[in-house]
Structure 1
């Protein structure tokens, strides 16, 4: 079975845009030419890849399967281009990363600032995603690698642990539980919570924990970012559960106290997830080494 790289790239554009016209525009070709390429691809596979209607196109089950493979193929093509570039292989390229809230707001900005300052020919696309979306994105080839916390039970992924993510309870000074050294998660649910936005992996994780207890997370307000959460907590709006590394940083400039959680799940391994480490271009491997080095 023969595949043309331009046809696969065209297929990805149409699938992601959910539109033949928009996909063709991304590929800088006419809609008619795009349609012909898709029909050619369908003929070679002997299957239908899109449902078509007046609103656009939608992937068939076969199309969804091909999208996963096509992304992986195109990602490998980019890896080959990067490794055989005229530039040093670790100093050029584009790296796409899916990461959880803690990584995006806590340590990746500093890691990337240092990494990019020494490599002007490299560009980075860092996106905050939920844990399952991180796994799916890496598996499907939509991201070069992911950064997440907790157990990794997804087949087809390599996990590269690099540090521990400890969660602590952050409370305003003189709060009823501020004098405690350690507290149960269930005890904290007696008080209003300052939570992160709905797209936050940490919020989804905490919601999963309260579901096991059989109650609801007592959210009083939701904000974007750990600094905003700590400011709300300092003002007495509520309490919150945040990564210890971030909480310690804001404790230095705000009137808040930190309390350890007694649950074992409060300590979670941070890991980088990849499909196959050895197949990554040198630029991605170098960035992974920088992330590990930052946490040593």
Structure 2
């Protein structure tokens, strides 16, 4: 069996595009040429990897297996190039992270890190925690950033800071004078939530769906800044990471209340398949993240 890297790259591009024509375009091939190469790959493997129809393509079970192996092989080739690229590393790192990380601290952190390493490229995508861990496991992403206790299986998980959730209310809200309260005790009031697909919304739904959180949701928005602005305007109350809440409270009239629930204080972690097996660029990024303690342990 002799499989070329270019054929694996083409297969991954077609599989991720979900369409032979779009995948061929990404590989700078004509659709007939791409189709012929994938059929030749199937002959090499002795298995059909794609179902083809007028609606596009889908993966067979053999195709799912090939996709997992192909991603890992191609990433290892990238890692090899990175490790032998000389003193100034470059390469490409794909990071899947939760909502708080993507919107609050990773942009600033990555701006500084990438300025120090101008040949590095990064693909940062927001994902739910279970998708983050699955993507690290199957090689879709190199680093995964999430908060809270999860079953990470055999992944290597490195803690780098603490994420504390607080309740933001208008200063004249009936709850504003409470120093501490349980999340369940807030559900008689209207809440502002994040958009569908955000990890925080999914977490709160999963935790409190039997306590009426869905009925309490009045509006959903795209960012913590928008949440805080609506809280200030008296539209509702909202659960926000303390670092974001304190930053917005400097310019907005907000009351920030401690949540007594044990889940309100969570470790922020980065997950990898194996830290020692990462290329230099990804290892350096993890090391910088851990050393910075970014998003930090917010006091009181």
Same fold (TM over 0.5): yes
- Match of 1:155, SS? coil
Contact (CA 8 Å) 2:187, 2:211: kept in 1 or not?
no
> In 2, distance between residues paired with 1:115 and 1:49?
39
Residues 1:193 and 1:214: Cα distance change in structure 2 (over 3 Å): closer
Aligned to 2:202: 204
> In 2, distance between residues paired with 1:14 and 1:177?
53
Aligned to 1:167: 165
Q: TM-score, normalised by structure 2?
A: 0.94
Counterparts of 1:147-186 in structure 2 under 5 Å? 147-186=145-184
- Match of 1:230, SS? helix
> How big is the shift at 1:99?
0.6
Deviations 1:47-89 (A, max 9, x none): 2111111122111122112211211111111111111114523
> In 1, distance between residues paired with 2:113 and 2:94?
14
Contact (CA 8 Å) 1:111, 1:290: kept in 2 or not?
no
> In 2, distance between residues paired with 1:161 and 1:207?
25
Aligned to 1:84: 84
Contact (CA 8 Å) 2:15, 2:23: kept in 1 or not?
yes
Counterparts of 1:5-20 in structure 2 under 5 Å? 5-20=5-20
Deviations 1:8-33 (A, max 9, x none): 11110111112222211111122222
The answer to which of 64-73 and 193-202 deviates more is 64-73
- Match of 2:110, SS? helix
> In 1, distance between residues paired with 2:197 and 2:82?
32
Aligned to 2:65: 65
> In 1, distance between residues paired with 2:148 and 2:65?
28
Deviations 1:95-145 (A, max 9, x none): 111111100111111111111121211121111111111112212212110
Aligned to 2:31: 31
Q: TM-score, normalised by structure 1?
A: 0.95
Q: Which of 115, 130, 133 in structure 2 is aligned with 1:132?
A: 130
* Structure 1 alignment gaps of length 5 or more: none
- Match of 1:3, SS? coil
Aligned to 1:110: 108
Contact (CA 8 Å) 2:168, 2:245: kept in 1 or not?
yes
Contact (CA 8 Å) 1:193, 1:217: kept in 2 or not?
no
Contact (CA 8 Å) 1:210, 1:217: kept in 2 or not?
no
Contact (CA 8 Å) 2:88, 2:117: kept in 1 or not?
no
- Match of 2:72, SS? helix
* Structure 2 alignment gaps of length 5 or more: none
- Match of 1:195, SS? strand
Aligned to 1:219: 217
Aligned to 1:246: 244
> In 2, distance between residues paired with 1:87 and 1:55?
48
- Match of 2:124, SS? strand
Aligned to 1:42: 42
Aligned to 1:289: 287
> How big is the shift at 1:179?
0.8
> In 2, distance between residues paired with 1:4 and 1:64?
18
Q: Does 1:22 align with 2:29?
A: no
